[in-house]
Amino acid sequence: MDKKIPFIIYAESTPNPATMKFVANKLLMNNGATYESAEPNGNEVCPLAQNLFNFSFVQRVFIANNYVTITRTDIIEWEDIVHEVREFIGNYLNNDGIIFEGNEDEKAPTESKNEFTAITKHKEPQNDIEKNIVAILDEYVAPSVENDGGAILFDSFDEGKVNLILKGSCSGCPSSVVTLKSGVENLLKQMMPDDVKEVVALNG
């Protein structure tokens, strides 16, 4: 019988001082899907997030690939809670705690109109231009953004404007606008000069 490999969790700081990235040695999400919630309620599809919201200082939970990014409230500093959260996530996963219920490709239920709780990916590209945008985001943008505990997802393209969704540490990060304009926008303009004129964050 193969020996079960335990989850090992370590913490990494992110460019967003309010968020901390907790990295696992095994995948938590499959097929490039992400899960984000800024609501303590309505997380039945993601028991891990539901349990994390039991901490009063947890404001937002983002899960992608092999990491969980948590945004804290202003009532406490990360240095006072990081070890507690890291230990909790490790114990939860190693005691067969459920990360997701059901199909990761399905949206989770939400009762809020202002925030959302959903498992999401890039919106399906509708033409060659959009396919090229998604390919560039995946190859050149995703690795560095994931290192910082976030994600930038394609939403739509219209008359030269690329609309993106910022998730995890990118959402609400003071430097995210600079990253979007000086990084992502310049990259897309350089690689697709005849098509891309502007990049905007729909939730930035």
Domain count, the chain: 2
Write a three-state SS string for the chain.
CCCCCCCCEEEEECCCCCEEEEEECCCCCCCCCEEEECCCCCCCCCHHHHHHCCCCCEEEEEEECCEEEEEECCCCCHHHHHHHHHHHHHHHHHCCCCCCCCCCCCCCCCCCCCCCEEEECCCCCCCHHHHHHHHHHHHHHHHHHHHCCEEEEEEEEECCEEEEEEEECCCCCCCHHHHHHHHHHHHHHHHCCCCCCEEEECCC
Q: How much is the pLDDT for 116?
A: 39
Same domain, 36 and 126: no
> Domain of 105?
9-119
pTM over 0.95: no
Same domain, 112 and 197: no
Same domain, 110 and 137: no
- Domain assignment present for residue 2? The answer is no
Q: How much is the pLDDT for 39?
A: 83
- Domain assignment present for residue 139? The answer is yes
Same domain, 112 and 166: no
- Domain assignment present for residue 171? The answer is yes
Per-residue pLDDT of the chain (204 residues; tens, 9 = 90+): 446 788 999 998 888 888 899 999 988 887 677 788 888 887 788 899 999 999 999 998 989 888 999 999 988 999 999 999 999 999 999 998 888 876 544 443 333 333 334 445 677 888 999 889 988 888 878 777 776 677 778 888 988 898 888 776 666 665 666 666 667 888 888 888 899 888 888 765
* CATH classification of the domain holding 165: 3.30.300.130
